[in-house]
A and B are shown apart, each in its own frame.
Chain A
Amino acid sequence: MERTDALKNACKDFEEDLVLFYYGDDSAADHRRVEEHLKTCAPCRGFVEDLRKLLPQMAKPSELPQSFWDNYYHEMVAKLAVQQERNSWWKNLFVPMRRWMLPAFGTAGVATLAIGLVIGKGNWHPFGEPREKIPQEILADTNQLEFFRSMDMIETLSSLESPDGTKVQPGDDYHS
């Protein structure tokens, strides 16, 4: 009964630590902590003991003869050879052409670029149709616009009344 109790009642809070303790995957501090706990806890001791009995048995590899591994290896080498052949069959098509491949493709590339530039010159607008070009003579200089605006203002000012109430005419000497 005591043994059964020990099996069933390992401390839940310690179970994960006990598993790591068994595998040696815990830190030094945790290892010491678990060791201290095991000194006083029979259920947890039983838990670890069970793992020591059960888990190595599960991991025991089945014995296989050397002939199995030799056959395995030779089969694998044969499969790799087939795969390598599949990977390279298309490359073998180009082997006879290798010597002149680079200059040939280079020439073709340059020719294609040149033809494209000649035919497409002026006809390629990646950002949409360009705006209609405005003749230079019509383009308004910003400074000139400002000058004309100031002239407008002066004319407006000149229509204002003079200090003695008379209208100021253009050309009048204002200070007389």
Chain B
Amino acid sequence: MNQLAQQDLRDEEIVALCQQGQGEVFEILVRRYMEKAFRIAFDFTHNTEEAKDLSQDAFLRAFTRIKQFDGRSSFYTWFYRLVVNICLDYTRRKGRVIWERLEKEGEAGSEVVELVDTSALLDEEVIAGEAKRRADLTLEAMPNKQRTAFLLRNHQGLSIPDVARVMKTTEGTVRVYLHRAVAALRQSLLEFV
């Protein structure tokens, strides 16, 4: 099968080929989902290198467990769950460290901001940066499940049924988590509205 034909394969077809021993086609799934996986990890870690490591760990885990995938959910739901679980394990291990680092960055006046050069920012952009920092702090302070539901819905654009499948909970519970997360964020950002 040539490369062009491989690119057109559906996720389930690629998974089936991997389960039959053609592991090299897994690279297509990497190309397809690497940006989403990285973004989720970055939302949890706020660090490019850590986000890259965690998301790549998720791909490795998916690759080694591909034979356990039984097709009851879609591949991307199953994979999202892996990424989220790895990120949650990371946040539990890091725990307080993330909170302290974010607080210190705030106290120091954002002398280092990931991926953004602050030296030439206009006032509006400085305010936006501060709002983002405040939002990040609020997110970090949230219970994991609320934060996860919010990130998957707001940042990743998953539907509520898909969020429920990833989090292995009910849609009603996801709505509650989402509501609480949004209400908390809005409350923390009132002055920026």
Contacts and interface: CB of A to CB of B under 8 A. Distances in A.
Interface in A44-75: 47, 50-51, 53-55, 57-59, 61-64, 69, 72-73, 75
Contact of B175 (A20, A54, A55, A76): A20
Nearest to A22: B182
Interface residues of B, number: 40
Nearest to B189: A54
A73 to B, nearest CB: 6
- Judged by DSSP, the binding face of A is helix
A7 B190 CA distance: 7
Interface in A64-112: 64, 69, 72-73, 75-77, 79-80, 83-84, 87
B179 A19 contact: yes
A16 interface: yes
- Judged by DSSP, the binding face of B is helix
B192 A54 contact: yes
Interface residues of A, number: 32
Contacts of B39: 61
A83 B38 CA distance: 20
B59 A76 contact: yes
Given A20-B175, A76-B56, A58 B115 contact: no
B155 interface: yes
Contact of B135 (A53, A58, A73): A58
B23 A77 contact: no
A120 to B, nearest CB: 38
A87 B189 CA distance: 50
A23 interface: yes
B154 A19 contact: no
B17 interface: no
B52 A72 contact: yes
B122 interface: no
Contacts of B178: 19-20, 23
B193 interface: yes
Contacts of A64: 115
The 10 A-B residue pairs with the shortest CB-CB distance, nearest first, are A16-B179, A62-B115, A59-B155, A19-B179, A19-B182, A76-B30, A50-B193, A25-B160, A84-B23, A59-B154
Interface of B: 23, 26-27, 30-31, 34-35, 38-39, 42, 52, 56, 59-60, 63-64, 114-116, 128, 131-132, 135, 153-155, 159-160, 175-176, 178-179, 182-183, 185-186, 189-190, 192-193
